[in-house]
Amino acid sequence: MIHRRILLAAAGGLPLAAPALGQSPWPNRPVRVIVGFPPGGSLDVMTRLACEQMQGRFGQPFVVETRSGASGNIGAEAIARATPDGYTIGTVSMHNLLINPLLFRRLPYDAAKDFAWISAMWDLPNVAVVPTQHVPARTLAEFVPWAKARPNGVSYGSSGVGTTIHLSGAYLMAQAGIRGEHVTFRGAAQTIPAMLSGDIQIAVDNLASYVPIIQEGQMKALAVTTRDRWPGLPDVPTMAEAGFAGLSYGPWHLWAGPAGTPRPVVDRLSQEIRTAFADPALQQRAIGMGARLLGTTPEELAARLDRERPIWGEMVRISGAQPD
Protein backbone atom coordinates (compact mmCIF):
# COMPACT_ATOMS: atom_id res chain seq x y z
CA MET A 1 0.00 0.00 0.00
CA ILE A 2 2.84 2.37 0.84
CA HIS A 3 4.50 1.71 -2.52
CA ARG A 4 1.20 2.34 -4.28
CA ARG A 5 0.77 5.71 -2.52
CA ILE A 6 4.29 6.74 -3.52
CA LEU A 7 3.60 5.87 -7.17
CA LEU A 8 0.34 7.81 -7.17
CA ALA A 9 2.04 10.84 -5.63
CA ALA A 10 4.78 10.69 -8.24
CA ALA A 11 2.25 10.38 -11.06
CA GLY A 12 0.32 13.33 -9.71
CA GLY A 13 3.49 15.40 -9.74
CA LEU A 14 4.44 14.63 -13.34
CA PRO A 15 2.92 17.80 -14.90
CA LEU A 16 5.12 19.92 -12.63
CA ALA A 17 8.21 18.18 -13.94
CA ALA A 18 7.82 19.51 -17.51
CA PRO A 19 11.19 20.82 -18.81
CA ALA A 20 10.35 24.52 -18.53
CA LEU A 21 8.21 24.28 -15.42
CA GLY A 22 10.33 22.24 -13.03
CA GLN A 23 11.24 22.99 -9.46
CA SER A 24 12.81 26.36 -10.38
CA PRO A 25 10.48 28.86 -12.07
CA TRP A 26 11.08 29.59 -15.73
CA PRO A 27 13.43 31.07 -16.78
CA ASN A 28 16.28 30.07 -14.47
CA ARG A 29 18.98 30.27 -17.16
CA PRO A 30 19.64 32.21 -20.41
CA VAL A 31 17.05 32.05 -23.20
CA ARG A 32 18.32 31.58 -26.75
CA VAL A 33 16.65 33.81 -29.36
CA ILE A 34 17.18 32.74 -32.98
CA VAL A 35 17.13 35.28 -35.82
CA GLY A 36 17.06 33.98 -39.38
CA PHE A 37 18.49 37.06 -41.08
CA PRO A 38 21.98 38.65 -41.05
CA PRO A 39 23.36 40.79 -38.21
CA GLY A 40 22.77 44.51 -38.63
CA GLY A 41 19.54 44.09 -40.57
CA SER A 42 16.25 45.49 -39.36
CA LEU A 43 14.99 42.21 -37.87
CA ASP A 44 18.27 41.65 -36.04
CA VAL A 45 18.34 45.20 -34.65
CA MET A 46 14.73 45.10 -33.46
CA THR A 47 15.15 41.63 -31.96
CA ARG A 48 18.13 42.82 -29.92
CA LEU A 49 16.17 45.85 -28.78
CA ALA A 50 13.33 43.60 -27.63
CA CYS A 51 15.76 41.20 -25.93
CA GLU A 52 17.08 44.08 -23.83
CA GLN A 53 13.54 44.61 -22.59
CA MET A 54 12.99 40.91 -21.93
CA GLN A 55 16.24 40.58 -20.00
CA GLY A 56 15.16 43.38 -17.70
CA ARG A 57 11.74 41.83 -17.17
CA PHE A 58 12.79 38.21 -16.65
CA GLY A 59 16.14 38.71 -14.95
CA GLN A 60 17.90 36.33 -17.35
CA PRO A 61 19.90 37.01 -20.54
CA PHE A 62 18.01 36.71 -23.82
CA VAL A 63 20.89 35.82 -26.14
CA VAL A 64 20.51 36.46 -29.88
CA GLU A 65 21.84 33.73 -32.17
CA THR A 66 22.03 34.36 -35.92
CA ARG A 67 21.01 31.51 -38.23
CA SER A 68 20.72 33.31 -41.56
CA GLY A 69 20.34 31.93 -45.07
CA ALA A 70 17.82 30.40 -47.49
CA SER A 71 15.44 33.36 -47.24
CA GLY A 72 15.08 32.91 -43.50
CA ASN A 73 14.29 29.18 -43.73
CA ILE A 74 17.44 28.12 -41.85
CA GLY A 75 16.49 30.18 -38.82
CA ALA A 76 12.86 29.03 -38.94
CA GLU A 77 14.00 25.40 -39.08
CA ALA A 78 16.33 25.94 -36.09
CA ILE A 79 13.39 27.21 -34.04
CA ALA A 80 11.09 24.40 -35.18
CA ARG A 81 13.68 21.70 -34.34
CA ALA A 82 14.68 23.10 -30.93
CA THR A 83 13.80 21.41 -27.66
CA PRO A 84 10.38 22.77 -26.63
CA ASP A 85 11.35 23.72 -23.09
CA GLY A 86 10.97 27.51 -23.29
CA TYR A 87 14.71 28.13 -23.59
CA THR A 88 14.74 28.53 -27.38
CA ILE A 89 12.45 30.99 -29.13
CA GLY A 90 12.96 33.21 -32.13
CA THR A 91 11.72 35.95 -34.41
CA VAL A 92 10.26 34.78 -37.72
CA SER A 93 9.17 36.65 -40.83
CA MET A 94 5.62 36.13 -42.07
CA HIS A 95 7.39 35.45 -45.38
CA ASN A 96 8.61 32.11 -43.97
CA LEU A 97 5.09 31.07 -43.04
CA LEU A 98 2.82 32.55 -45.72
CA ILE A 99 4.95 32.88 -48.86
CA ASN A 100 7.85 30.41 -48.69
CA PRO A 101 5.51 27.38 -48.48
CA LEU A 102 4.27 28.39 -51.93
CA LEU A 103 7.74 28.91 -53.40
CA PHE A 104 9.80 26.04 -51.96
CA ARG A 105 8.82 22.49 -52.90
CA ARG A 106 10.55 21.08 -49.82
CA LEU A 107 10.66 23.28 -46.76
CA PRO A 108 12.58 21.90 -43.76
CA TYR A 109 9.60 22.70 -41.49
CA ASP A 110 5.82 22.61 -41.52
CA ALA A 111 4.60 26.20 -41.25
CA ALA A 112 1.27 25.09 -39.81
CA LYS A 113 2.41 22.47 -37.28
CA ASP A 114 6.00 23.03 -36.16
CA PHE A 115 5.65 26.28 -34.19
CA ALA A 116 4.11 27.60 -31.00
CA TRP A 117 2.82 31.13 -31.68
CA ILE A 118 3.77 33.70 -29.05
CA SER A 119 3.04 37.23 -30.31
CA ALA A 120 3.21 39.44 -33.35
CA MET A 121 6.37 41.57 -33.20
CA TRP A 122 6.19 44.51 -35.61
CA ASP A 123 4.90 45.79 -38.92
CA LEU A 124 7.54 46.84 -41.42
CA PRO A 125 5.52 48.50 -44.20
CA ASN A 126 6.50 48.74 -47.80
CA VAL A 127 6.41 52.11 -49.53
CA ALA A 128 6.04 52.88 -53.22
CA VAL A 129 8.94 55.17 -54.07
CA VAL A 130 10.18 56.83 -57.25
CA PRO A 131 13.37 58.80 -57.94
CA THR A 132 12.56 62.50 -57.87
CA GLN A 133 14.98 63.40 -60.66
CA HIS A 134 13.80 60.81 -63.18
CA VAL A 135 10.07 60.38 -62.54
CA PRO A 136 7.86 63.48 -62.70
CA ALA A 137 4.91 61.87 -60.90
CA ARG A 138 4.22 62.99 -57.34
CA THR A 139 1.27 60.67 -56.70
CA LEU A 140 0.24 57.20 -57.84
CA ALA A 141 -2.58 58.84 -59.81
CA GLU A 142 0.09 60.71 -61.79
CA PHE A 143 2.48 57.76 -61.99
CA VAL A 144 0.05 55.31 -63.63
CA PRO A 145 -0.64 57.29 -66.86
CA TRP A 146 3.01 58.35 -67.04
CA ALA A 147 4.14 54.72 -66.82
CA LYS A 148 1.53 53.53 -69.33
CA ALA A 149 2.68 56.13 -71.84
CA ARG A 150 6.25 54.81 -71.86
CA PRO A 151 6.84 52.57 -74.90
CA ASN A 152 8.62 49.89 -72.87
CA GLY A 153 6.78 50.41 -69.61
CA VAL A 154 8.79 50.67 -66.39
CA SER A 155 11.25 48.62 -64.39
CA TYR A 156 10.57 47.88 -60.73
CA GLY A 157 13.18 46.60 -58.32
CA SER A 158 13.14 44.10 -55.48
CA SER A 159 15.50 42.04 -53.35
CA GLY A 160 14.46 38.76 -54.93
CA VAL A 161 11.71 36.67 -56.48
CA GLY A 162 8.89 35.96 -54.04
CA THR A 163 9.79 38.66 -51.52
CA THR A 164 7.00 40.95 -50.35
CA ILE A 165 8.82 43.68 -52.32
CA HIS A 166 8.53 41.67 -55.55
CA LEU A 167 4.94 40.61 -54.89
CA SER A 168 3.83 44.14 -54.01
CA GLY A 169 5.46 45.57 -57.13
CA ALA A 170 4.00 42.87 -59.39
CA TYR A 171 0.56 43.33 -57.88
CA LEU A 172 0.71 47.09 -58.40
CA MET A 173 1.75 46.65 -62.05
CA ALA A 174 -1.06 44.15 -62.66
CA GLN A 175 -3.78 46.18 -60.95
CA ALA A 176 -2.75 49.42 -62.66
CA GLY A 177 -2.35 47.77 -66.07
CA ILE A 178 1.28 48.87 -66.35
CA ARG A 179 3.87 46.96 -68.33
CA GLY A 180 6.48 46.27 -65.68
CA GLU A 181 9.84 44.50 -65.80
CA HIS A 182 11.01 42.98 -62.54
CA VAL A 183 14.69 43.55 -61.76
CA THR A 184 16.26 41.83 -58.75
CA PHE A 185 19.01 43.19 -56.51
CA ARG A 186 20.62 41.95 -53.32
CA GLY A 187 18.80 44.57 -51.29
CA ALA A 188 17.93 48.24 -51.01
CA ALA A 189 21.63 49.14 -50.91
CA GLN A 190 21.78 48.16 -54.60
CA THR A 191 18.23 49.13 -55.58
CA ILE A 192 18.58 52.74 -54.44
CA PRO A 193 21.62 53.61 -56.65
CA ALA A 194 19.87 52.00 -59.63
CA MET A 195 16.84 54.19 -59.02
CA LEU A 196 18.87 57.34 -58.54
CA SER A 197 20.62 56.68 -61.86
CA GLY A 198 17.28 56.24 -63.64
CA ASP A 199 17.66 52.54 -64.42
CA ILE A 200 14.73 51.64 -62.16
CA GLN A 201 11.60 53.78 -62.10
CA ILE A 202 9.80 52.45 -59.02
CA ALA A 203 10.06 50.07 -56.07
CA VAL A 204 7.57 49.02 -53.42
CA ASP A 205 10.27 48.38 -50.84
CA ASN A 206 10.71 48.26 -47.07
CA LEU A 207 10.14 51.73 -45.66
CA ALA A 208 12.99 51.47 -43.14
CA SER A 209 15.56 51.45 -45.97
CA TYR A 210 14.17 54.61 -47.59
CA VAL A 211 13.29 56.98 -44.75
CA PRO A 212 16.55 59.01 -44.93
CA ILE A 213 16.56 59.35 -48.71
CA ILE A 214 12.87 60.32 -48.75
CA GLN A 215 13.57 62.98 -46.14
CA GLU A 216 16.46 64.27 -48.26
CA GLY A 217 14.11 64.68 -51.22
CA GLN A 218 15.94 62.34 -53.57
CA MET A 219 13.01 59.92 -53.53
CA LYS A 220 9.30 60.61 -53.51
CA ALA A 221 7.02 58.38 -51.43
CA LEU A 222 3.76 57.77 -53.32
CA ALA A 223 1.90 55.44 -50.93
CA VAL A 224 2.43 53.06 -48.02
CA THR A 225 1.15 49.49 -47.71
CA THR A 226 -0.54 49.95 -44.34
CA ARG A 227 -4.21 50.26 -43.47
CA ASP A 228 -3.58 53.64 -41.82
CA ARG A 229 -1.15 56.41 -42.69
CA TRP A 230 2.34 55.91 -41.35
CA PRO A 231 3.12 58.15 -38.33
CA GLY A 232 6.52 59.12 -39.74
CA LEU A 233 5.04 60.08 -43.15
CA PRO A 234 1.67 61.62 -42.31
CA ASP A 235 1.31 63.31 -45.70
CA VAL A 236 1.79 60.09 -47.69
CA PRO A 237 -1.48 58.29 -48.49
CA THR A 238 -2.12 54.60 -47.99
CA MET A 239 -2.42 52.33 -51.01
CA ALA A 240 -6.16 52.12 -50.36
CA GLU A 241 -6.45 55.91 -50.40
CA ALA A 242 -4.50 55.90 -53.67
CA GLY A 243 -6.96 53.44 -55.21
CA PHE A 244 -5.20 50.11 -54.57
CA ALA A 245 -6.97 48.58 -51.57
CA GLY A 246 -5.55 45.13 -52.32
CA LEU A 247 -2.10 46.42 -51.39
CA SER A 248 -2.95 47.19 -47.78
CA TYR A 249 -0.53 44.52 -46.60
CA GLY A 250 3.18 44.51 -45.99
CA PRO A 251 5.89 42.47 -44.31
CA TRP A 252 5.73 41.81 -40.59
CA HIS A 253 7.47 39.61 -38.07
CA LEU A 254 6.48 37.52 -35.09
CA TRP A 255 7.71 35.65 -32.03
CA ALA A 256 7.51 31.85 -32.05
CA GLY A 257 8.90 28.81 -30.30
CA PRO A 258 8.98 25.15 -31.27
CA ALA A 259 5.66 23.31 -31.15
CA GLY A 260 5.13 21.87 -27.70
CA THR A 261 6.57 24.82 -25.80
CA PRO A 262 4.68 24.82 -22.46
CA ARG A 263 1.63 27.03 -22.65
CA PRO A 264 2.40 28.86 -19.36
CA VAL A 265 5.75 29.91 -20.86
CA VAL A 266 4.08 31.04 -24.10
CA ASP A 267 1.46 33.03 -22.20
CA ARG A 268 4.01 34.74 -19.96
CA LEU A 269 6.24 35.67 -22.91
CA SER A 270 3.26 37.04 -24.81
CA GLN A 271 2.12 39.12 -21.85
CA GLU A 272 5.59 40.56 -21.16
CA ILE A 273 6.09 41.40 -24.85
CA ARG A 274 2.77 43.21 -24.96
CA THR A 275 3.59 45.14 -21.80
CA ALA A 276 7.08 46.10 -22.97
CA PHE A 277 5.93 47.14 -26.44
CA ALA A 278 3.24 49.40 -24.99
CA ASP A 279 5.92 51.80 -23.78
CA PRO A 280 5.50 55.07 -25.77
CA ALA A 281 9.24 55.80 -25.84
CA LEU A 282 10.00 52.35 -27.25
CA GLN A 283 7.20 52.72 -29.81
CA GLN A 284 8.56 56.06 -30.96
CA ARG A 285 12.06 54.64 -31.24
CA ALA A 286 10.74 51.86 -33.49
CA ILE A 287 8.76 54.27 -35.68
CA GLY A 288 11.93 56.26 -36.20
CA MET A 289 13.45 53.08 -37.60
CA GLY A 290 10.50 52.53 -39.95
CA ALA A 291 8.69 49.91 -37.86
CA ARG A 292 5.61 49.74 -35.66
CA LEU A 293 5.79 47.52 -32.61
CA LEU A 294 2.99 45.01 -32.13
CA GLY A 295 1.92 42.86 -29.25
CA THR A 296 -0.77 40.18 -29.53
CA THR A 297 -2.03 37.08 -27.83
CA PRO A 298 -1.10 33.75 -29.44
CA GLU A 299 -4.70 33.43 -30.65
CA GLU A 300 -4.65 36.86 -32.29
CA LEU A 301 -1.39 35.97 -34.02
CA ALA A 302 -2.80 32.70 -35.34
CA ALA A 303 -5.89 34.52 -36.62
CA ARG A 304 -3.77 37.05 -38.52
CA LEU A 305 -1.76 34.28 -40.18
CA ASP A 306 -4.98 32.55 -41.25
CA ARG A 307 -6.46 35.82 -42.51
CA GLU A 308 -3.48 36.78 -44.66
CA ARG A 309 -2.60 33.34 -46.07
CA PRO A 310 -5.01 33.53 -49.06
CA ILE A 311 -4.08 37.17 -49.72
CA TRP A 312 -0.38 36.42 -50.17
CA GLY A 313 -1.27 33.30 -52.13
CA GLU A 314 -3.14 35.46 -54.63
CA MET A 315 -0.21 37.87 -54.86
CA VAL A 316 2.16 34.97 -55.58
CA ARG A 317 -0.20 33.82 -58.34
CA ILE A 318 -0.36 37.28 -59.93
CA SER A 319 3.42 37.68 -59.78
CA GLY A 320 4.00 34.48 -61.71
CA ALA A 321 6.64 33.32 -59.22
CA GLN A 322 7.16 29.57 -59.48
CA PRO A 323 8.19 27.04 -56.81
CA ASP A 324 11.92 26.41 -56.68
pLDDT at 246: 87
Residue 16 predicted with pLDDT over 50: no
Provide the percentage of residues in the chain whose pLDDT is more than 70: 93
3-state secondary structure of 282: helix
* Cα gap 66→75, rounded to integer Å: 8
Contacts of 234 (CB under 8 A, 6+ apart): none
Mean pLDDT of the chain: 90
Q: What is the distance in angstroms between the CA of the first residue and the CA of the last residue of the chain? A: 64
Judge whether 154 and 181 are in contact, CB under 8 Å.
Answer: yes
Q: What is the pLDDT of residues 47-83, one digit of tens each?
A: 998 999 999 999 999 999 999 888 889 999 999 999 9
The predicted structure's pLDDT at residue 148: 97
The mean per-residue pLDDT over the stretch 292-304 comes to 96
Closest CA to 31 of 63, 58, 76, 77: 63
Give the pLDDT confidence of 124-148 residue by residue, as tens digits. 889 999 999 999 999 999 999 999 9
- Decide: 270 and 119 in contact? Cβ < 8 Å: yes
Q: Render pLDDT for 213-266 as a digit per residue (tens, 0 to 9).
A: 999 999 999 999 998 999 889 999 999 999 998 899 989 999 999 999 999 999
Pairwise CA distance, residues 92 & 73, whole Å: 9
Whether 200 contacts 155, CB under 8 Å: yes
CA distance 292 to 308: 18
Contact criterion met (CB below 8 Å) for 283 and 277? yes
> What percent of the chain has pLDDT above 90?
74
